Structure 1
Amino acid sequence: MGLYRKYKPHMLLVVNQLCYTFLYFMTEAAFNLGMNPHVYVTYRALVAGIVMLPFAYFLERDVRPKLTITLFLEIFMLSLLGVSLSLNVHFDSLKYSSPTFLTAMTNTTPSLTFIFAVALRLEVLNRRDPRSIAKVLGTMVSLGGVITMTTYKGPIIRNLWHPLIQIQRNSPVHENWLKASLLTVSSCIIWATYNIMQALTLKRYHAELSLTVWMSFVGAAQSAIYTVIVAHKPSDWIIGFNIEFWSTIYSGVVTSGVVVFFQLWCTKQKGPVFITIFNPLCTVLVAMLAYFVFGEKLYLGRIIGAVIVIIGLYLLLWGKEGDNEVHNKAKKQSQCNCEHPESRI
């Protein structure tokens, strides 16, 4: 049980990445059938709110803080950053790229989160500490990997056999790496801001399930307004009982419901930077499925850039583990002082 409690955040975040891996291919298939990405984001958030509402209402009835106007405005901004704006930009970029490229670029979120955390003094840097140097170096290496992915495409790695699963495409894919890069980096910047803000919000609103429900409903309303402005066709809101429907249900229940709750809990336990360090696992899984199962094109430059990003991320992880050790030592010392007050005299 001691090991379980120690590694529970790690296990939950691994499950999150597995959930995200299947999500990318389901949404790609839905978009290829003609589903509007903005309608998808709206339905996804709405489904998540409906599914999580009963659990939040009954399980957190006694611990849910009172909702004030200030706190609601904070939740409104959190929903904008974490649900409506970030997801709309993120999935919009899938129209111009592939799941492999998208997940690889998403690995920049930890580096951007770290930069914002340092700027807001949520992260401490010591020039003489090797772990602090590793955090800075890891951030620079990760950003270098992103530059490699966006500037160097390289030759195509050919498939050795026919794909096991063929994704149906009603319309041709318009690859535009520059547009895809700009959209994906924008979504990563928004997500990094969201990671910082949610860590601050959880200190005042310490009910993860209820916060997930609020974010889902508010984010769905924001995304619906944006969709009405952008998509003028009423037919875009009608989805068939096919992959469009099942991808919406899966994303709403699993990724916008359960996964967001896991992320909030892990953020409360480990901090905003820790939850982003498992992103490379999703990149590896997506690349393997894309190449070996779905037969999608892989470019040498994207693989080299992704490897560089992952190296930088784990340099950052090594530096973060040093922070956890310092925090645990300080916590134990504080507990000892409370148990033996005479030691402070």
Structure 2
Amino acid sequence: MASWTRVFNDGKPFLAMVSMQLSYAVMSIVAKCALNKKMSPHVLVAYRLAAASVLITPFALVLERKSRPKMTLSIFVKIMLISLLEPVLDHNFFYTGMKYTTATYTAAMCNILPALTFALACIVRLERVKIGKVRSQAKVAGTVVTVGGAMMMTLIKGPNLELPWTKGRNHHIGRSGTSEDHKQDLMIGALMLIAGCCCWACFIISQARILKSYPAKLSLTALICITGTAEGTLLALVAEWRNPSVWRIQFDIKLVAAVYGGMVTAFGLYTMGSVMKVRGPVFVSAFNPLGMVIVAILGSLFLAEEMYLGRVIGSIVIVTGLYLVLWGKSKDQPQPRSEGTVARADRQMDTIMVT
């Protein structure tokens, strides 16, 4: 019995990460369905952040009522600025890019985030490259390979990989699951997704600085979601000011996308925080490609998204670059259970929590 209990406890981080990636994959499919129903990506972001704020704020108020530091004007302005990067701009670019492409393509492109974060960290001198060290060579090579994979996915299409369950469905659903009035434009979609990842990477770099002066992680998350809701709503009002009907929401897939998106945000925060404290940030990041695979399967089943050889090869190249970067980063860190790694895991959790 003791051995089974140990196996179960050792397997909980794996089960938690698989569950989290599954929830994100389902969110991608639900969001794509809502976008295909002509839901505005800007309105979707505003509603999703509002739902996340409602879910997270009560926990922050109760659990950190005694440990929450004093809010200052300087800290509040910084929170407003980083919330504009992530989740507002990042999510808007993300869903707009998804509208122009497919859920599978979007999930694959998001794997370039670690490489972009490393590149930006080098630019602002938060990351030092010692080209004579194998770990630095791996990170540089991984960045180059990841960017190459993203270009391959965008520029090379290749033959269609017909799947048994998609035969005859694409003509009825629309090409790769897109709506009839909004056909795919891979170049625009790819640029939107890359811009979103850049915003996300900038957020990751900026977040660590704020945590030093405002270490209440749950309260900071709630504040980011609340300010992000205000900023996202304002952006949506400006973008859709000629079309007020886009705000109308009924008991349909659009409502599901908004509410479920908030639930995924809250669940992802708790799951990543818990797992990172035990296994470290590299362990969490290593599961990102699993989400891409799940999205590809669900997208082909429910949206009849077509798979092309060029995009599959590009996805494999991106994942290869991702693991090169992650391997290099893992060599920079001590063992996951040390105090330094726990603190680093907390900081990493805060940077990814509103995905």
With the shorter chain as reference, the TM-score category is 0.7 to 0.9
Say if 1:281 and 1:327 are closer, same or farther in 2 by CA, change over 3 A.
Answer: closer
Say if 1:128 and 1:72 are closer, same or farther in 2 by CA, change over 3 A.
Answer: same
> Greater CA radius of gyration, 1 or 2?
1
Say if 1:315 and 1:26 are closer, same or farther in 2 by CA, change over 3 A.
Answer: same
Moved more, 126-135 or 238-247: 126-135
Number of residue pairs aligned between Structure 1 and Structure 2:
331
Give distance in 2, aligned partners of 1:267 and 1:196: 18
Query: How many angstroms does 1:291 deviate by?
Result: 2.5
Q: Report the residue type matching 2:126 in the other structure.
A: L
Q: Report the residue type matching 1:254 in the other structure.
A: V
1:23-34 equivalences under 5 Å are 23-34=27-38
Unpaired runs of at least 5, structure 1: 333-345
Q: Percent identity?
A: 36
Q: Assess if the C-alpha contact under 8 Å between 2:100 and 2:184 holds in 1.
A: yes
Give distance in 1, aligned partners of 2:27 and 2:154: 24
Normalised by the size of structure 1, how large is the TM-score?
0.85
Give distance in 1, aligned partners of 2:52 and 2:322: 30
1:296-307 equivalences under 5 Å are 296-307=305-316
Query: How many angstroms does 1:270 deviate by?
Result: 8.4
Which residue matches 2:244? 234
1:149 pairs with 2:158: no
Give distance in 1, aligned partners of 2:311 and 2:83: 31
Q: Once superposed, what is the RMSD of the aligned Cα atoms? A: 3.1
Q: Assess if the C-alpha contact under 8 Å between 1:274 and 1:320 holds in 2.
A: no
Unpaired runs of at least 5, structure 2: 342-355
Say if 1:262 and 1:121 are closer, same or farther in 2 by CA, change over 3 A.
Answer: farther
Per-residue CA shift, 1:159-201, capped at 9, x if unaligned?
2234899979764441101111111111111111111122322
Q: Assess if the C-alpha contact under 8 Å between 1:109 and 1:276 holds in 2.
A: no
Which residue matches 1:127? 131
Normalised by the size of structure 2, how large is the TM-score?
0.83
Per-residue CA shift, 1:93-122, capped at 9, x if unaligned?
122100011111111111000112223333
Which residue matches 1:250? 260
1:96 pairs with 2:100: yes
Give distance in 1, aligned partners of 2:279 and 2:140: 19
Which residue matches 2:112? 108
Give distance in 2, aligned partners of 1:67 and 1:311: 43
Q: Report the residue type matching 1:178 in the other structure.
A: M
Which residue matches 1:206? 215
Give distance in 1, aligned partners of 2:282 and 2:68: 25
Which residue matches 1:75? 79
Per-residue CA shift, 1:274-301, capped at 9, x if unaligned?
7644321211111122234542111111
Per-residue CA shift, 1:135-161, capped at 9, x if unaligned?
111111111111111111111111223
Say if 1:319 and 1:331 are closer, same or farther in 2 by CA, change over 3 A.
Answer: same
Query: How many angstroms does 1:273 deviate by?
Result: 7.5
Which among 307, 310, 323 is matched to residue 314 of structure 1? 323
Query: How many angstroms does 1:323 deviate by?
Result: 1.2
